[in-house]
Structure 1
Amino acid sequence: MSDHHVYGTNTHTADELARLVGDRLGLVFTERESDCRGIYHLADAPEVRIEVQPNPIPGDDCDDDLYAPDHPTAKVLLLTTTPVPDPTLQARLRALEGLHHLGTDSL
Structure 2
Amino acid sequence: MSHTAGELVRLVSDCLGQVFTERDSDYRGVYHLASSPNGRIEIQPDSIPGDDGEDDLYTPEHPAAQVLLFTTTPAADPALQARLGSIEGLIHLNHETV
Normalised by the size of structure 1, how large is the TM-score?
Answer: 0.88
- Shift >6 Å, 4+ stretches: none
Higher relative contact order (CA 8 A, sep 6+): 1
Corresponding letter in the other structure for 2:48: I
For structure 1, the residue ranges without an aligned partner over 5 or more in a row are 1-9
Which SS does the other structure have where 1:102 is aligned? coil
- Count of paired positions: 98
Shift of 1:34: 0.2
Shift of 1:60: 1.6
Corresponding letter in the other structure for 1:20: L
Shift of 1:63: 1.1
1:44 corresponds to 2:39: no
Which SS does the other structure have where 2:56 is aligned? strand
1:90 corresponds to 2:81: yes
Whose strand proportion is higher, 1 or 2?
Answer: 1
| Aligned residue number for residue 73 of structure 1 | 64
Within the candidate set 89, 94, 97, 1:103 is matched to: 94
Which SS does the other structure have where 2:95 is aligned? strand
Shift of 1:73: 0.6
Select between 83-92 and 60-69 the one with higher mean Cα deviation.
60-69
Select between 27-36 and 64-73 the one with higher mean Cα deviation.
64-73
Corresponding letter in the other structure for 2:85: R
% of aligned pairs identical? Answer: 63
Instruction: Calculate the aligned-residue CA RMSD, in Å.
Output: 0.9
Distance 1:55 1:31 in 2: 16
